[in-house]
């Protein structure tokens, strides 16, 4: 029983996702009064009515107490987690014991991250975001919500089954020679050719990478591109997986499997069990989906869920249309979040995908908008803190600084096809106001600031969210060019294809470690500075037996590993960087440490203690480790600090000293490629 | 909401009881539903805000999930919630306190209330809101009083420091209790010294409840001696209410088990034959003075004595075991009496006084109640007595057919909802010798059984005096300088905490230890299979281990904490288990 709801402060539903069970539960509670049809409004209305008292109470508490609900737990262990971002209240519910409070909070943050990647700086204006998330047109709304729902489901599936999404770090395929060849190929052949083609319509390929399922085979960034953050890369992998889901479990069509996973939302779409919601949502996204088996089984509850979303057959968009994604860019003059890029996801074979990220010609506008937004946000903050309006504007150079820039910017916009009259008016109004003073001046100026921000976000929205390029001049790499890129890589990897698909499932295996580390059952090693992880594969499908055996035992070990990660995160949140646990027949270890560039182990430092309801520890939605590194580096000026984590699972009968020796060996060996016979 | 954010280490920041049944209509104001709010000085509109919002949101969530809310978290506070029968309790603590501990505290508080007052709904029908507010306040302050942060985490019993006391004294205390149990009307007892447990025969939960009364009477001025009492003013009693499982626990205690097997064949024989007071002087005349409730055709003993009620319970027709069987005597007369003559209604203080009426109260009421030496005080006293008699009578009607008793699992105490299950009235008898208190749970009619009382009183008096003298002479044992290590050892069965921190005012050096202990305790509570853990922050490495019966936490001071955090078997943190085993042996903690 799961649900995720985004609501405005007026208790208007901005997005909702429910699994069939929760859907049924709502229907049951509302069944009697809503017998006359299960159309979209009915379900949306009932979910909104059911949650309205909580939402309103939440807002009241913030207004009057300055504090608000973060979670509820009921006696039958249903968990409700609430979090407010600006004016959007997120509520995540779990009633089947599969997710804890931390998981739900993480889900909320990931949902927010995906919305940011999708809508960029529009998320900075709650008015615009509200409109964006809840389009007036019901058809459009249904389509958007379905897309977001399927993204969320893809994420949940990955978090539950993929170790790299468990620890939120990217996993590379371990095959040094092939990886090197591929990177070279991407650099010398692919990207170069694309960027020198006239068919690129002003776009410039910045990053290109090849994914085998969720693992990275090769990643290339062009010289003038900024680094792609781990957070963004993970989000892009989710999007790619959402478009071209790799049915990892597909090759074992075990009927029991289907039975056991039916009803649980995220899993249902990867196992061949049909969740019509998922299929439809994907129909717009994935042209290759046809190749996957389609079952005709339709659960009545699921049917209802589908009906309620009022699906209309929308013709799938042109597959060559790129996705607009907003990613962080770090340049010499600062960090620019949510800069527009185009994402081309080109399927090579089922399970293997080429992803191209391009810079769009108008992206400079986004940078200007961000600079202006930042300036107004700072001013507003200062005004809110009670500084005199005149002092606030005079005392800080930014407004004066940007004054002429903004004038120019607006002038330039006037010449383009972007509607900027309102921005112009508000800006004129602001400039007039700044000179004045008197009672109520601060309040007026704050309102003016807000207005400016909204207008700037509006311009940004026009530039990057609305398909401005008309049919005759589509702003994208031409379909022909895309096709060429696809063929080139296909040719290159043709001989490797099957190997890669197998390799990605058994990237490294425990077998190679058994001799050196008797008693070691599993480990995960993460380099937090680069956002990469290594772990033996944990495939627990019926047919692919791993070293752990198959069936319940492997499942048990897997659940232990998943638990261990969430447990150690809880301790890390409270400032504990070393944890060892004797749990049942197992012995678990967790270590976090810092090194400098030369591999010298730095002294363990103070790790900040965070409140229970702080942002989840990880790298996908909120980069905890980046903050941790910054915090730790304060005492290590001028040194490049790296951060590593190691988790191990041993048999409990192994003496502790031996276990610790194992850990030490693993820690020193794993990240030294030269001395890496194990990989 | 300044008081919501008090920095002091009070265990509870907020507590309230809200009665949703009083706020139904549109015109009803939230304040009408507030039965009690702590801190009492909170402005009414803030009280209303918190009660209204929390109860409203709580109800909404519980409807969505078809289950009552248990925990409610805010950014800066956490609330344990209990929703029952239109009542909504919330107890708010700082977010630092482990959630399990907050929930435990709320359960304790509600159970305490029910122990002394019976069911909540009924209490609010019988008593004024002010009276009950005073009681909530009293229980709350008792639960918060003088406990350290460690004790907040474990909610343990306060015991005397057994390392300082001659073990023979503890044995002696246990023997006194056993001697008292020779009287069949005595269910179980405990001996307390200056608010700490010396010896107890009851479950930790029950002992904790009993201690509240002891501590409140301890702080009251000693009452003037009743003229007729050969017991001095040292003896008092009060009605208490046990849950069925508590009663069963008492009945199944080894002493009683033995006893009940003896008595079962005799269940229809006259009561005096069930007496097993072999060593105590048995005065045969005592049975004659036993009261016979005129409204009850059955002898109350037959219904209430544990060994008999168990056997009769199962013979009852389940269909008769409705929660509200027609009481043998209607409740109305005393109730309506009180309602119709408000001027006769006792003031809260008087009522409280009389509630804890002394033994032989009817003898001379005037002299008994402090400064209330007029006749009306006397009548109130008897009036109160009458009420409790009624309650007792009603309770006795319920006991035999009570259905919950049949299926309760043995450890259901924490989940038992006293508001729902009928409670069985019993009497708490206290005998005070200066700082020492003998507290006995006895059958209600023990009070009117002069012979039994005298027997218990006289048989224990000398021993109690002796014990008191010895305990008094024990020096409190100076809290030595903080050693090279800190430990805390929690006995889950007896709910006792041993630590070389106890008695020390909370200070900065042990803060890391307390924090780690709190985290580990929560982890142990949530993960059944977890046996031991070592966690290390920049400041401290703490080792925790647990078995079914105990939890132990250990931190070593000194040594080099400098480390790189990288796995290293020479790291001092990983030698903690060995050190703990070694060091704690001398504290009587065996981790081998």
Q: Report the gap between the CA of B4 and the closest CA in chain A (Å).
A: 9
pLDDT computed for residue A312 by the predictor: 41
Do the bridges between strand A532-534 and strand A170-171 make them parallel or antiparallel, or are there none, so unpaired? parallel
Give B346-370 pLDDT, tens digit per residue: 344 433 433 333 333 343 433 333 3
What's the pTM value of the predicted model, to 2 decimals?
A: 0.81
Structure tokens at A414: 């006037």
Nearest alpha-carbon partner for A366 in A436, A455, A281, A461: A461
If one counts every other C-beta atom within 10 angstroms of the C-beta of residue A515, the result is 7
Q: Do A64 and B49 touch (CB under 8 A)?
A: yes
A664 to chain B: which residues are within 8 Å by CB?
566-569
Q: Is the pLDDT of residue B113 over 90?
A: yes
B49 to chain A: which residues are within 8 Å by CB?
60, 64-65
Interface test with B, best of A72, A89, A614 (most B CBs within 10 A): A72
Residue of B nearest to A645 (CA): B566
Distance CA B335, CA B383 (A): 10
Does B65 contact chain A (CB < 8 Å)? yes
Distance CA B120, CA B421 (A): 11
Residue position matching structure tokens 């002003």: A202
Q: Report the gap between the CA of A261 and the closest CA in chain B (Å).
A: 22
pLDDT computed for residue A547 by the predictor: 54
B308: confidence class by pLDDT, cuts 50, 70, 90? very low
Give B228-268 pLDDT, tens digit per residue: 345 656 888 899 999 998 888 887 755 444 444 343 334 34
Residue of B nearest to A567 (CA): B523
| ipTM given for this complex | 0.85
Does A559 contact chain B (CB < 8 Å)? no
Does A574 contact chain B (CB < 8 Å)? yes
Residue position matching structure tokens 């509520």: A91
Does A400 contact chain B (CB < 8 Å)? no
Q: Report the gap between the CA of A302 and the closest CA in chain B (Å).
A: 20
Give A589-645 pLDDT, tens digit per residue: 999 999 888 888 888 888 999 998 999 999 999 899 999 999 999 888 888 999 999
pLDDT computed for residue A321 by the predictor: 85
Nearest CB to A67: which of B76, B539, B569? B76
pLDDT computed for residue B503 by the predictor: 55
Which residues are CB-neighbours of A159 under 8 A, at least 6 positions away?
Answer: A103, A106, A165, A166
Q: Do A594 and B574 touch (CB under 8 A)?
A: no
Interface test with B, best of A18, A61, A73 (most B CBs within 10 A): A73
Cα atoms found within 13 Å of the Cα of residue B159, Cβ hemisphere only:
23
Q: Are B428 and B457 in contact (CB under 8 A)?
A: no
Interface test with B, best of A83, A581, A657 (most B CBs within 10 A): A581
A601 to chain B: which residues are within 8 Å by CB?
564-566
Measured in residues, chain B has a length of: 592
B171: confidence class by pLDDT, cuts 50, 70, 90? very high
Give A127-154 pLDDT, tens digit per residue: 999 999 999 998 999 999 999 999 999 9
Give B422-464 pLDDT, tens digit per residue: 889 999 999 988 889 999 999 998 888 888 888 899 888 889 9
pLDDT computed for residue B437 by the predictor: 92
Residue position matching structure tokens 């400016």: A452
Distance CA A299, CA B241 (A): 53
Distance CA B170, CA B160 (A): 10
Residue of A nearest to B561 (CA): A604
Residue position matching structure tokens 């007892």: B189
Does B512 contact chain A (CB < 8 Å)? no
pLDDT computed for residue B232 by the predictor: 59
Distances (CA, A) of B392 to B292, B419, B443: 13, 17, 10
Does A566 contact chain B (CB < 8 Å)? no
A76 to chain B: which residues are within 8 Å by CB?
65-67
A379: confidence class by pLDDT, cuts 50, 70, 90? confident
Q: Do A601 and B567 touch (CB under 8 A)?
A: no
Distances (CA, A) of A538 to A461, A523, A548, A551, A611: 43, 10, 8, 12, 32
Nearest alpha-carbon partner for A593 in B148, B381, B571: B571
B415 to chain A: which residues are within 8 Å by CB?
none
* Strands laid side by side in the A334-349 sheet: A215-221, A204-212, A352-359, A334-349, A323-331
Does B49 contact chain A (CB < 8 Å)? yes
Q: Do B537 and A95 touch (CB under 8 A)?
A: no
Distance CA B157, CA B174 (A): 17
Element (H, E) at B226: none
A397: confidence class by pLDDT, cuts 50, 70, 90? low
Which residues are CB-neighbours of A636 under 8 A, at least 6 positions away?
Answer: A596, A602
pLDDT computed for residue A32 by the predictor: 52
pLDDT computed for residue B258 by the predictor: 42
Q: Which residue has the higher pLDDT, A476 or B296?
A: A476
Nearest CB to B567: which of A69, A576, A664? A664
Nearest CB to A602: which of B4, B537, B564? B564
Q: Report the gap between the CA of A118 and the closest CA in chain B (Å).
A: 29
Q: Do B53 and A70 touch (CB under 8 A)?
A: no
Among A176-180, B268-272, B500-504, the range scoring the smallest mean pLDDT is: B268-272
Q: A 653-672 residues with CB below 8 A of B?
A: 656-657, 660-661, 663-664, 666-667
Q: What is the mean pLDDT of residues A181-205?
A: 92
Nearest CB to B532: which of A64, A582, A589? A582
Residue A644 carries which DSSP code? E
Distance CA B503, CA B484 (A): 17
Residue of A nearest to B84 (CA): A75
Q: Is the pLDDT of residue A158 over 50?
A: yes
β-partners of residue A647 are A524, A590
Structure tokens at A114: 């995906």
Does B535 contact chain A (CB < 8 Å)? yes
Q: A 110-139 residues with CB below 8 A of B?
A: none
Q: Is the pLDDT of residue B335 over 90?
A: no
Percent of the residues in chain B that have a pLDDT greater than 70, as a whole number:
63
Does B66 contact chain A (CB < 8 Å)? yes
Structure tokens at B66: 């078809």
Give A474-487 pLDDT, tens digit per residue: 678 888 999 999 99
Q: Do B53 and A656 touch (CB under 8 A)?
A: no
B557: confidence class by pLDDT, cuts 50, 70, 90? confident
Nearest alpha-carbon partner for A380 in A437, A452, A329, A295: A452
Find how far residue B325's CA is from the centre of its chain.
28
Q: Do A75 and B532 touch (CB under 8 A)?
A: no
Q: Which residue has the higher pLDDT, B238 or B502?
A: B238
Element (H, E) at B495: none
């Amino acid at each position: 029983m799961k649900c995720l709801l985004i609501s405005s402060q007026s208790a208007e539903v901005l997005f909702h996702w429910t699994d069939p069970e929760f859907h049924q539960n709502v229907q049951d509670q509302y069944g009697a009064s809503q017998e006359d049809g299960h159309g979209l409004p009915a379900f949306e209305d009932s979910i909104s009515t059911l949650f309205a008292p909580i939402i309103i109470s939440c807002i009241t508490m913030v207004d009057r107490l300055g504090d608000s609900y973060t979670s509820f737990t009921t006696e039958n262990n249903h968990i409700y987690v609430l979090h407010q971002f600006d004016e959007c209240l997120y509520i995540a519910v779990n009633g089947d014991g599969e997710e804890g409070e931390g998981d739900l909070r993480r889900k909320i943050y990931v949902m927010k991250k995906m919305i940011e990647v999708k809508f960029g700086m529009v998320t900075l204006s709650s008015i615009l975001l509200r409109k964006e998330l809840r389009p007036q047109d019901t058809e459009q709304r249904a389509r958007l919500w379905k897309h977001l729902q399927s993204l969320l489901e893809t994420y949940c599936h990955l978090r539950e089954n993929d170790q790299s999404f468990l620890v939120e770090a990217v996993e590379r395929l371990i095959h040094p020679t092939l990886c090197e060849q591929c990177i070279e190929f991407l650099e010398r052949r692919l990207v170069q050719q694309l960027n020198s083609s006239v068919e690129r319509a002003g776009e410039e390929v910045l990053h290109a990478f090849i994914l085998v399922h969720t693992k990275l085979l090769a990643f290339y960034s062009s010289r003038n591109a900024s680094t792609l953050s781990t957070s963004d890369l993970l989000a892009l992998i989710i999007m790619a997986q959402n478009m071209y889901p790799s049915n990892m479990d597909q090759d074992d069509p075990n009927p029991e499997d289907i039975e056991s996973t039916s009803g649980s939302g995220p899993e249902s779409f990867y196992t061949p069990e049909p969740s019509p919601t998922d299929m439809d949502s994907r129909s717009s996204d994935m042209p290759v989906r046809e190749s996957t088996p389609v079952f005709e089984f339709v659960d009545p509850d699921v049917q209802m869920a589908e009906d309620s979303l009022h699906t209309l057959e929308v013709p799938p968009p042109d597959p060559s249309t790129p996705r607009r994604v907003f990613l962080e860019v770090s340049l010499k003059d600062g960090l620019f979040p949510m800069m527009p890029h185009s994402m081309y996801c080109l399927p090579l074979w089922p399970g293997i995908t080429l992803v191209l990220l391009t810079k769009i010609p108008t992206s400079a506008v986004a940078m200007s908008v961000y600079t202006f937004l930042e300036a107004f946000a700072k001013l507003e903050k200062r005004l809110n803190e009670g500084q005199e309006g005149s002092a606030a504007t005079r005392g800080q150079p930014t407004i004066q600084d940007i004054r002429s820039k903004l004038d120019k910017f607006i002038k330039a916009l006037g010449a383009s096809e972007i509607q900027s009259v309102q921005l112009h008016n508000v800006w004129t109004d602001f400039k007039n106001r700044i000179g004045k003073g008197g009672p109520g001046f601060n309040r007026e100026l704050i309102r003016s600031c807000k207005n400016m921000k909204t207008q700037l976000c509006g311009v940004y929205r026009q530039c990057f969210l609305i398909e401005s390029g008309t049919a005759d001049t589509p702003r994208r790499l031409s379909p022909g060019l895309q096709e060429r890129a696809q063929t080139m890589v296909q040719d290159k990897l043709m001989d490797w294809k099957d190997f890669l698909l197998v390799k990605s499932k058994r990237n490294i295996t425990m077998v190679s470690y058994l001799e050196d580390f008797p008693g070691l059952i599993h480990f995960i090693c993460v380099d937090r500075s680069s956002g990469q992880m290594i772990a033996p594969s944990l495939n627990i499908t019926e047919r692919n037996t791993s070293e752990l055996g198959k069936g319940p035992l492997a499942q048990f070990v897997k659940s232990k590993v998943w638990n261990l990660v969430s447990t150690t995160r809880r301790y890390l949140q409270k400032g504990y960087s070393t944890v060892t646990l004797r749990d049942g027949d197992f012995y678990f270890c967790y270590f976090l440490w810092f090194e400098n560039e030369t591999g010298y182990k730095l002294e363990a430092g103070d790790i900040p203690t965070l409140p229970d309801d702080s942002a989840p520890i990880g790298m996908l939605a909120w980069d905890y480790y980046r903050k941790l590194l910054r915090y730790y580096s304060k005492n290590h000026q001028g040194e490049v600090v790296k951060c590593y984590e190691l988790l191990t699972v041993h048999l409990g009968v192994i003496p502790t000293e031996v276990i610790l020796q194992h850990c030490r060996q693993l820690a020193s060996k794993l990240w030294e490629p030269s001395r890496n016979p194990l990989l | 909401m300044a008081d919501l954010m008090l920095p002091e280490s009070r265990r509870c920041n907020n507590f309230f009881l809200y009665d949703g049944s009083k706020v139904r209509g549109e015109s009803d104001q939230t304040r009408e539903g507030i039965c009690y709010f702590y801190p009492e000085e909170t402005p009414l509109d803030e009280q209303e805000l918190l009660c209204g919002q929390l109860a409203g949101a709580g109800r909404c969530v519980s409807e969505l999930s078809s289950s009552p809310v248990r925990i409610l978290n805010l950014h800066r506070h956490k609330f344990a919630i209990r929703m029952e029968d239109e009542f909504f309790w919330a107890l708010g603590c700082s977010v630092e306190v482990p959630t399990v501990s907050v929930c435990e505290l709320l359960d304790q508080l509600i159970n305490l209330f029910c122990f002394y007052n019976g069911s909540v709904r009924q209490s609010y029908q019988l008593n004024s809101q002010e009276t009950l507010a005073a009681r909530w306040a009293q229980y709350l302050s008792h639960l918060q009083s003088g406990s350290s942060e460690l004790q907040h985490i474990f909610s343990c019993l306060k015991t005397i420091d057994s390392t300082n006391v001659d073990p023979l004294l503890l044995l002696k205390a246990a023997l006194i209790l056993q001697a008292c149990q020779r009287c069949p009307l005595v269910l179980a007892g405990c001996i307390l010294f200056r608010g700490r447990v010396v010896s107890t025969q009851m479950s930790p939960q029950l002992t904790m409840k009993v201690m509240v009364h002891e501590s409140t009477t301890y702080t009251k001025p000693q009452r003037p001696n009743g003229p007729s009492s050969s017991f001095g003013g040292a003896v008092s009693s009060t009605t208490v209410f046990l849950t069925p499982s508590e009663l069963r626990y008492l009945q199944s205690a080894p002493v009683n088990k033995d006893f009940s097997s003896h008595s079962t064949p005799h269940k229809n024989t006259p009561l005096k034959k069930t007496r097993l007071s072999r060593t105590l002087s048995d005065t045969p005349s005592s049975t004659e003075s036993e009261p016979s409730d005129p409204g009850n055709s059955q002898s109350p003993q037959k219904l209430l004595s544990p060994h008999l009620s168990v056997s009769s319970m199962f013979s009852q027709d389940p269909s008769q075991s409705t929660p509200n069987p027609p009481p043998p005597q209607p409740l109305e007369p005393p109730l309506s009496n009180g309602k119709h003559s408000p001027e006769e209604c006792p003031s809260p203080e008087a009522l409280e006084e009389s509630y804890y009426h002394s033994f032989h109260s009817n003898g001379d009421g005037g002299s008994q109640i402090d400064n209330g030496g007029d006749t009306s005080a006397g009548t109130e006293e008897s009036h109160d007595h009458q009420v409790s008699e009624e309650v007792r009578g009603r309770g006795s009607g319920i006991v035999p057919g009570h259905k919950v008793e049949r299926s309760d699992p043995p450890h259901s105490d924490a989940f038992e909802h006293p508001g729902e299950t009928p409670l069985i009235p019993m009497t708490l008898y206290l005998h005070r010798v200066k700082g020492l208190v003998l507290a006995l749970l006895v059958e209600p009619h023990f009070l009117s059984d002069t012979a039994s009382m005298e027997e218990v009183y006289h048989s224990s008096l000398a021993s109690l005096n002796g014990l008191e003298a010895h305990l008094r002479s024990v020096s409190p044992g100076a809290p030595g300088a903080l050693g090279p290590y800190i430990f805390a050892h929690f006995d889950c069965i007896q709910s006792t905490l041993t630590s070389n921190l106890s008695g020390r005012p909370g200070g900065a050096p042990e803060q890391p230890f307390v924090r780690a202990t709190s985290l580990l305790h929560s982890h142990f509570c949530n993960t059944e299979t977890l046996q031991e853990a070592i966690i290390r922050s920049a400041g401290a490495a703490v080792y925790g281990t647990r078995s079914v019966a105990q939890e132990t936490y250990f931190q070593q001071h000194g040594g080099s904490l400098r480390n790189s955090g990288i796995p290293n078997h020479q790291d001092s943190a990983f030698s903690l288990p060995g050190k703990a085993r070694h060091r704690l042996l001398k504290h009587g903690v065996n981790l081998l």
